[in-house]
Structure 1
Amino acid sequence: MTIMNSQTSTKRIIQVALFLVVGAIAPLLDTTMTNVALDTIMKSLNVSVNAIQWITTSYVLAMGIAVPVAGWASNWFNGKHLYLWALVVFLLGSIVSSWATTLPLLIVGRVIQGAAAGFIVPLITTLIVQVAGGNGLGKLMAIVGMPAVLIPILGPTVGGYLIQTLNWHWIFLINIPLVLISLVLLAWKMPSFPAVRRGKHLDIPSLVLLAGLFTSSIIGITRFSTGDSFTSLKVLTPLLLALAFLIGYVLYAFFLPQKALVSLQLFKSPTFDASAIILMLSGIAVNGAMFLLPLYLQNSRGLSVVWSGTYLIAQGIGLLVVRGQIGKLTDSIGARWVVLAAIAIAIVGTLPFVFFTAKTSTWLVLLTLFVRGIGQGGLTIPVMADSYTGVPQALVAEATTATRMLQNIGGAMGTAVLATIIQHELPKVGLTAAYQTAFLWSVGFIAVTAIPAWFLSHRKIAK
């Protein structure tokens, strides 16, 4: 497919967006169902909170490492073929995960799934931006984000039902027919995206430096959660190694810009810098809390796996209510005020969990989750759209690589950080207080995003 001309209708662009979104259904459904299943898997495999977080962390970390490869591949291979092969790999990871009877094998399956998702998610954005030519991105990001709205409404309840009536292995087995149906539909109906065959070749040193940076960071955080002090060599060694990888990549990209996977030129734009920082911080706050909420509902409030999933529908409805308006607002007034308002709403929807107990009214919990969903929607669409503001067409794939990578790594770090907090607080203050402390940290991460949000684009409303 070539980039569409001026006569191409908006309807056709939206149709292409919807075809691409079909492939994201299984990965997103899998993520929401897995979050609800964590407590069940933890008890089934007899492992700790710190150990079970690797089911989420390994998936998101694999996504983050795969994203740079996807950014390179989108320039050199047919986009449709890449997309279909990524779905095949996700299918393989789902099969391995469904067979797992030990935590290490389950983590292997999750790594395979995460690596595939690391291609699927950024490919959607890259191909849509290419097709649209950079116009009306707020509205298009809202369409691309539809599964992220609808699936959190369905996923937790479907996952809870599968776990309660069958067993947790079925949250992975259900992916098999979903992916097979998607493969047939996309192979038949999705248009082709021929490779432009321009841009950089896959740079192994870049990939090694970025993978080393993210992996070392997560290992340092998780070792701290096992009880090692922050100043111990077991913790400091991987964290210092992560710092060395970061410095190494910056120097490499500075002296060899023609080879580096993510160009430092992207960071010359204040809006891109702000978007990148917000995506990482929101990844910590949003993804970390999505790991935290099902565990809290099942352990602190004593809900069944089905009811915990049902509670989370309220958050998905909050996302759904604002999804369409957020895209329009971003296109008309810019991202700054939309994101600042969303930060305030997200804090209002998260802070009450610091004070909730097992006796707190169900309706109050549901209302708070609904409000949190509204805030969560405003922290993703505007920032993703604004990250492309002022970015040259030649750097679109690299911009997608950088933003998705930071968001995924932020999510992996958020899961690890909140699991660390729970693990440290649990022996000292008990179950409910440990979760309350973790929610307080999540609020802090959300609040800090207000600083970079001030540097996002903004414009006056046309009279």
Structure 2
Amino acid sequence: MTTTRTAPPAGDRGIDPHLRNLAIVVVLGAIMTVLDTTIVNVAITALGRDFDTSLSTIQWVVTGYTLALSMAIPLTGWSVQRFGARTMWLTSLGLFISGSLLCGLAWSVPSLIAFRVLQGAGGGMLMPVGQMMLAREAGPGRMGRVMSIVSVPTMLAPVLGPILGGVIVDNMNWRWMFFVNVPFCAVALLAALRMLPHDTERSTDARLDVRGMLLLSPGLAGLVYGLSEAGNGTSLTGVRFLASVIGGGILVAAFVVHAIRKGDGALIDLRRLRTRAFTTATGGLFFYSGAMFGVMILIPLFAGLVRGDSALDAGWLLAPMGVGAMITMSVSGRLADRFGGRWFAVGGVLCVLAGTLVLTTLTPDTGRAMIAGTMFVVGLGHGMIAPCLLSMAYQGLPREAVPTATTGAHILVRVGGSFGTAAVAVILQIAIRGEIPGASGNLAEAAARRTPDTPALLTNAFTETLWWTAAILLLALLPILAIPRKQEEATSLRTN
């Protein structure tokens, strides 16, 4: 039988001590798992050199982690219903800590890749489980504020990950990229043991939808892998890209058919998510994630290829974005709770769009101060969007639908980010071929063809790609404008 926890009463009670402690636990546990999606990227060359292996092989240190994350997310909703949120949080964090320690002790490339998969399996469930716990505890009146808290790790990872990775690689052994997780996450584990309430909302008779798992998890992994291959420069006609994307797409489509037919027993009950608020908010988040990941890839690439900056210096250009996001994120959640988040999300997208349009004016001589200032403006808009859209996605959903909604939202964000990365990489390659006759579109090759005109031609390719990124941002506005007005608390996150 399922024992329910009473939802917080209506009204604005602020962030009480219990919710604050829960938020601390979630942020402590999740931030390193999200950072690990980007921190290792800057160490690929060092890893390949130390293990004396090819780039295509060592790249699986990143890819294995990403695919494990993607495959673990669909299991989150069922595992929380079956075992409880606290149990799954502690289990996932334990897996991540174990994987981190073993990665630091890895003796070969296969062992490092295997331990990264273990890391990803644990890390993939931490963010959605944490978001579920906060959403259940907060209730509709405080949803915007807790989604601001949930967004902290996600916003900081693309900014701090490359910087922290660069500092470690430049000054320490690469193994410390993994060892640094252990004490930090151990503190999070101790905090969870002390602060998290014991599980009361779980059902021992919850059955795993095995067919759904066998369709969705590998299907999602196939899509993410195929899109990452395009993002890494693989041709759109390449066998790996086509096989992964087509195969993954077929499996995901088959899961959708299966889930609609199965209903309540499906791995993700899609019928619960047939609300205008969820579909429009997550649709906006999908397109926005694609555009934002595109911007965060293009700026460091521009700095490295055109300006000749080091990886660390290029990464520092993203830091002002994190500062801007933290400023607006601290107030956007509270304002969304009070007035509704639709127009704040629209304002955030317009702010990011304005910054992106400024970036389309880049020249080879553009100073670091101008780029950093523009990324600060982008960050101001960024901090308004994610908390508002995440909070509005829960409008009108019953309390028991929170695990399903959280899992679905995380899947869309992950696929959206992969889509944006792939789209930007492909558009940039096409633009480079158009600007530099005879170039294959390979970034390193194009940069190596140094002539007096090369920096200007490469800059033209980057600015053209940024125009396409702006177009994706405009697409994100369409579903956001269709989000319904904030509903009465009595109809949102109803108790069982």
- Give me the TM-score of the superposition, normalised by structure 1: 0.86
1:356 equivalent to 2:362? Answer: yes
- Answering whether residue 121 of structure 2 is matched by residue 115 of structure 1, we say yes
Secondary structure at 2:126's aligned position in 1?
Answer: helix
Q: What are the residue-to-residue correspondences of 1:29-428 with 2, within 5 Å?
A: 29-37=35-43, 56=62, 58-99=64-105, 106-149=112-155, 155-197=161-203, 200-221=206-227, 230=236, 235-422=241-428, 425=432, 427-428=439-440
RMSD of aligned Cα (Å): 3.4
For 1:459 and 1:363, locate their aligned partners in 2 and report how far apart those are by CA, in whole Å.
Answer: 39
Give the aligned partner of residue 481 of structure 2. 454
Distance 1:111 1:350 in 2: 35
Equivalent residue letter for 2:325: L
The 3-state SS of whatever aligns with 1:356 is coil
Aligned to 2:451: none
SS in 2 for 1:258: helix
The one-character-per-residue Cα deviations of 1:121-168 (angstroms, maximum 9, x if unpaired) are 011111112222333200121223334456666555433322211143
Separation in 2 of the partners of 1:306 and 1:289? 17
Assess if the C-alpha contact under 8 Å between 1:57 and 1:413 holds in 2: no
- Rounded Cα–Cα distance in structure 1 between residues aligned with 2:250 and 2:427: 26
Distance 1:55 1:416 in 2: 19
**Structure 1 CA distance for aligned equivalents of residues 367 and 257 of structure 2:** 54
Q: CA deviation at 1:273?
A: 0.7
Instruction: Say how many residue pairs are matched.
Output: 459
Equivalent residue number for residue 453 of structure 2:
none
Is the contact made by 1:35 and 1:294 (CA closer than 8 Å) also made in structure 2?
Answer: no
Q: Deviations over 1:408-461 (max 9, x none)?
A: 12223333444445566473463444554554443332221111111113359x
Gaps of 5+ in 1: none
Residue 23 of structure 2 corresponds to: 17
For residue 443 of structure 1, what is the aligned residue in structure 2? 470
Q: Deviations over 1:248-277 (max 9, x none)?
A: 222212221132111222342111111222
**Match for residue 436 of structure 2?**
none
Contact 2:71 2:218 in 1 (8 A): no
**Secondary structure, aligned partner of 2:484:** coil
In 2 relative to 1, CA 437–35 (structure 1 residues): closer, same or farther, beyond 3 Å? Answer: farther
* TM-score after normalising by structure 2: 0.81
How far apart are 1:366 and its partner, in Å?
A: 0.6
| Partners of 2:107 and 2:422 in 1: CA distance | 23
Distance 1:224 1:318, change over 3 A: closer
Comparing 136-145 and 21-30, the one that deviates more: 21-30
Q: CA deviation at 1:40?
A: 6.0
Range with bigger deviation, 236-245 or 164-173:
236-245
Change (3 A) 1:282 1:105: farther
Change (3 A) 1:438 1:192: farther
Give the counterpart letter for 1:217 in structure 2: L
Q: Which moved more, 1:178-187 or 1:91-100?
A: 91-100
Is the alpha carbon distance of 1:153 and 1:417 closer, same or farther for their aligned partners in structure 2, counting shifts above 3 Å?
A: closer
What is the aligned-residue identity percentage?
28
Question: Structure 1 residues 220 and 165 mapped into 2: Cα distance closer, same or farther (>3 Å)?
Answer: closer
Distance 1:21 1:234, change over 3 A: closer
State the distance in 2 between where 1:27 and 1:285 align: 23
Do the aligned residues in 2 keep the contact of 1:57 with 1:412 (CA within 8 Å)? no
Preserved CA contact (<8 Å) 1:271 1:389: yes
Q: Matched residues in 2 for 1:435 and 1:37: separation?
A: 25
Q: CA separation of 1:241/1:145 partners in 2, compared to 1, >3 Å: closer, same or farther? A: closer
- Tell me which moved more, 106-115 or 147-156: 147-156
1:190-211 Cα distance to aligned partner (Å, 9 max, x none): 3323342178522111112112
Structure 1: which amino acid aligns with 2:75?
V
Q: Please say if residues 28 and 185 of structure 2, whose CA atoms lie closer than 8 Å, have aligned partners that are also in contact.
A: no
2:263 aligns to what SS in structure 1? Answer: coil
Structure with larger Rg: 2
How far apart are the structure 1 equivalents of 2:99 and 2:225? 23
- In 1, Cα distance between equivalents of 2:149 and 2:245: 39
| 8 A contact 1:283–1:410 mirrored in 2 | yes
